[in-house]
Amino acid sequence: MLWQLLLFVWMSLVIVAGFLYAPLAEKLYEMTRIIYFHIPAAWVAVLAFLVSTVFSIRYLATRAWGDDARAAISAELGLLFAVLATASGAIFAKAMWGAYWNWDPRETSIFLLLLIYGAYLTLRSAVEGEDKRARLAAVYNILAFVTVPFLVFVVPRLYFSLHPDPLLNAQARLEMHPRMLQVFLASLAGFTMLYFWIFDLSWKVARLKRKQEEAP
Amino acid sequence: MPWVEGVLAVFLKDWRSEFRTRYALNAALLFAVTTLVVVSFAIGAFGISGDLLAAFLWVVILFSSMAGLGQVFIKEVESRTFTALRLVARPSEVWAGKFFFNLVLLLGLEVIIIPLFFILLNPRVSDWGGFLAILILGSIGLAGATTLIAAIIAQAKGKGALLAGLSYPILIPLLAAATSGTRHLFRGDGSAGQETQILAAYAVVVITAAFLLFEFVWSE
């Protein structure tokens, strides 16, 4: 209970600091603040995919229902955060570049992540039988995962990008102010904790449901 | 039975049963030809640019492959031969046999639709070797990914719609590289060397993953 409270205070502070403490970046004006919410959401969407794949691989090795359940939970959470990142990104794109959608390489990647999550969850709903569902879903998840590097590293090379890249790009066009970096990293940590907390809650619910089903 | 013979046996079995009905080939071919003719007719006398033609060519290939390539495993389920095949052949033999069958089907489809595409839409190609390399490498990657996904959806409900839904997210990197390379060749600016490398890498990655994963799809 203590650390949930701590997380609540932490995230509240991040929101306040994003508006009052951190300075604005050059050329981005008021839109700077999206850095503190959009990027962490996108990061969690990718992290959730990674966690989901790790559990899928584990499922194929152990064949334990819990591994499959956790892969599914992580995929559902990833879908949620991917939607958040896509929606906030589209609003930013409208304000910055004049259109909600431009098929910018990063827009393409996050859209693809959405499609993969959607396909994975659709496949789960289309297969009957717990073992078979778990097996097929795990295979699909891993196959999708091995093609992701192509998106992250290859597609951006083929298309011109407008995307501001403050952290990942070596010759960054936007220099991050120390204060901005503090708030950004704090938000990144907060979002990551939030993800693990929801993940843990869903996993508890799944275990309780399972127990209830098995009880006579 | 040695591995190669097992693969060949699966391939020949599918080949024979396909040429008794020609279902998969007919479905894909009908789709491809209809689409090509309809688009060509709709464009009429106005030419369209190389940029659009490159995208259009790959969309036709992608959609026709969705109409035909899923059949390899769906037909095993529909004719209730899934279990029998599981008993007589090793998983890797089944996958490789079905993959080669799909690849031959896809290349056969292209032998018909590519000339038709050139007759109807008249694109100019700056480098034929590069164009063929993109076409063949793209087909290998496409057949590799689709064959594994076909094995997955054959065991699910709503097979037809699922194949496209599950394949597209995985095929988009391939589609991006293939259209980008073809665009260069149709416009005549620069080579498609980078895209050819990407397509080769994609084919290797997908086929390796499919080999490792197929056993889990196939055996209970």
B155-196: per-residue pLDDT in tens?
Answer: 888 777 888 889 999 998 899 889 989 988 988 877 788 889
Tell whether the model's pLDDT for residue B200 goes beyond 80: yes
Q: Which of A151, A163, A178 is nearest to A34 (CA)?
A: A163
What domain range includes position A93?
35-159+183-206
Q: Are B177 and B199 in contact (CB under 8 A)?
A: yes
Question: Is A3 within a domain?
Answer: no
Residue A25 lies in a domain: no
Residue A180: its pLDDT value, please?
A: 83
Residue A173 pLDDT more than 60? no
Pairwise CA distance, residues A76 & A73, whole Å: 5
Number of H helices, E strands in chain A: 7, 0
DSSP, res B167? H
Residue from B219, B67, B62 nearest B155 by CA:
B219
Residue in the block written with tokens 């599914």? A72
Residue A214 lies in a domain: no
Sign of CA dihedral A94, A98, A103, A107: negative
Instruction: Determine which of A164-173, B63-72, B115-124, B203-212 has the lowest per-residue pLDDT on average.
Output: A164-173
Torsion of CA A171, A173, A178, A183, to 10 degrees: -110
Neighbours of B204 (CB within 10 A): 14
Chain B residues touching residue A108 (CB < 8 angstroms)? 172, 176
Per-residue pLDDT for A168 more than 70?
Answer: no
**Structure-block tokens of residue B30:** 């009908």
Q: Which residue has the higher pLDDT, A160 or B118?
A: B118
pLDDT of A201 higher than 60: yes
Q: Does B161 touch chain A (CB under 8 A)?
A: no
Rounded Cα distance between B74 and B204, Å, is: 25
Of the ranges A6-15, A60-69, B39-48, B95-104, which one carries the lowest mean pLDDT score? B39-48
Map tokens 């700056």 to a residue: B126
Contacts of A20 (CB under 8 A, 6+ apart): none
- At B150 the pLDDT is 93
pTM: 0.89
Give me the number of domains chain A comprises.
Answer: 1
With a cut of 70, say whether residue A162 has pLDDT above it.
no
| Max Cα–Cα distance, chain B, nearest Å | 58
Q: Which residue has the higher pLDDT, A198 or A24?
A: A198
Whether A213 maps to a domain, the answer reads no
Measured distance CA(B156)–CA(B57) in Å, rounded: 30
The 8-class DSSP code of residue A30 comes to G
pLDDT over 60 at B116, yes or no: yes
Return the pLDDT at B76.
87
Q: Is residue A30 part of a domain?
A: no
Q: Is residue A193 part of a domain?
A: yes
Asked if the model's pLDDT at residue A159 lies above 80, the reply is no
Measuring CA to CA, how many Å separate B151 from each of A134, A213, B124, B146, B214? Answer: 15, 31, 38, 9, 8
Rounded to whole angstroms, the Cα distance separating B110 from B128 reads 15
Minimum Cα–Cα distance from A150: chain B residue: B173
Nearest CA-CA partner of B217 in A215, A123, A109, A73: A123
Residue A45 lies inside a defined structural domain of this protein: yes
Of the residues B155, B167, B212, the best mutation for testing chain A's interface (the one with the most A CB atoms within 10 Å of its CB) is: B155
CB pairs under 8 A between A and B: 95
- B interface test, pick of A67, A150, A151, A155 with most B CB neighbours within 10 Å: A150
Structure confidence by residue, pLDDT tens digits, B15-63: 998 888 887 788 888 888 898 888 888 887 677 787 888 999 999 999 8
Residue type, A5: L
> Does B170 contact chain A (CB < 8 Å)?
yes
Closest among A71, A84, A10, A103 to A44, alpha carbons compared: A84
All residues of chain B having their beta carbon less than 8 Å from the beta carbon of residue A139 are: 148, 152, 213, 216-217
By the CB < 8 Å criterion, does B152 face chain A?
Answer: yes
Across the interface, whether the CB atoms of A132 and B220 are under 8 A apart is answered: yes
A110-124, A130-144, B26-40: which range is least confident on average?
Answer: B26-40
- Is residue A170 scored above 50 in pLDDT? no
Of B166, B168, B213, the CB nearest to A123: B166
Using one digit for the tens of pLDDT, what is the confidence trace for A32-62?
788 888 889 999 999 999 999 999 999 999 9
Sequence-separated (6 or more) residues with CB below 8 Å from residue B93: B3, B6, B7, B9, B10
What per-residue confidence (pLDDT) applies to A158? 66
Residue with the bigger pLDDT between B47 and A185: it is A185
Return the minimum-mean-pLDDT range out of A159-163, B126-130, B136-140.
A159-163
- On average, the pLDDT of chain A sits at 85
> Is the torsion defined by CA of B28, B31, B34, B39 positive or negative?
negative
Q: Residue A156: what pLDDT?
A: 64
Q: Is residue A15 part of a domain?
A: no
Start-end of H helices in A35-64: 35-62
